[in-house]
Amino acid sequence: MKSLLTLIALLVLAGSGWASSLHGIEAHDPWVREAPPSARVLAAYLRLHNHGDQARTLVSVESPAFERVELHRSEEKNGMASMVRVTKIMIPAHGKVSFAPGSLHVMLIGPRAPLKSGDRVDLTLHFADGSSQTLSAKVRRGGAGGMTHDHDPDHSMKMHKESHGEMKKHGHDH
């Protein structure tokens, strides 16, 4: 009976959008922004929380639903918005990193099939220590135009660039 209750609790947690790895990383609310069926680029967002005593470094993401997946961040210089590829993202010990519109995001390139609101996309996160974690992101509507990177100042992150494109978060998540 105790095993059954444990299994039910794990299934409830899995259904709530949380995923946990062996190394203490939890992924919260993974989602993909719905785009028109002809879109060749989409974006995924989530929050990562490192419960471990050591920093973890995300080095790549992959998905069988896309030809290519890259880590990106949006930035604005002189009134011009652009996206910059990021080669790795450090998640501090007991820290959080948010992937959100107008900030860090997972760029999903070349969808193998059109996606609509309600569909699910598997994403596998790969870390520098060789571990990986697979999660399911729900496709949902997220702003006018589907792929716009709306900047929300309440969810912006204070980030600074480290060597080789690494991003480090300072402060606390909102």
Over residues 110-160, the pLDDT tens digits come to: 999 999 999 999 999 999 999 999 999 999 997 533 333 333 322 222 222
Rounded CA gap, 89 and 110, in Å?
23
Mean per-residue pLDDT, 81-105: 95
Mean pLDDT score across all residues of the chain? 77
Question: In the chain, what are the domain boundaries?
Answer: 19-169
Q: How confident is the model at residue 23 (pLDDT cuts 50, 70, 90)?
A: low
Q: How confident is the model at residue 24 (pLDDT cuts 50, 70, 90)?
A: confident
What was the pLDDT predicted at 142? 76
Q: How confident is the model at residue 51 (pLDDT cuts 50, 70, 90)?
A: very high
Is the model more confident about 75 or about 31? 31
Q: What is the pTM assigned to this prediction?
A: 0.70
Q: What percent of the chain has pLDDT over 70?
A: 68
Rounded CA gap, 137 and 28, in Å?
10
Rounded CA gap, 3 and 20, in Å?
19
What was the pLDDT predicted at 29? 96
Over residues 8-17, the pLDDT tens digits come to: 444 444 444 4
Instruction: Kindly tell me if the per-residue pLDDT of 41 is higher than 60.
Output: yes
Q: How many CB atoms lie within 10 A of CB 133?
A: 20
Indicate the CATH number for domain 19-169: 2.60.40.1890
Indicate if the alpha-carbon torsion angle 97, 102, 108, 113 is positive or negative. Answer: positive
Q: How confident is the model at residue 1 (pLDDT cuts 50, 70, 90)?
A: low
Q: Is 8 exposed, middle or buried (0-12, 13-18, 19+ CB in 10 A)?
A: exposed
What was the pLDDT predicted at 81? 87
Mean per-residue pLDDT, 13-31: 65
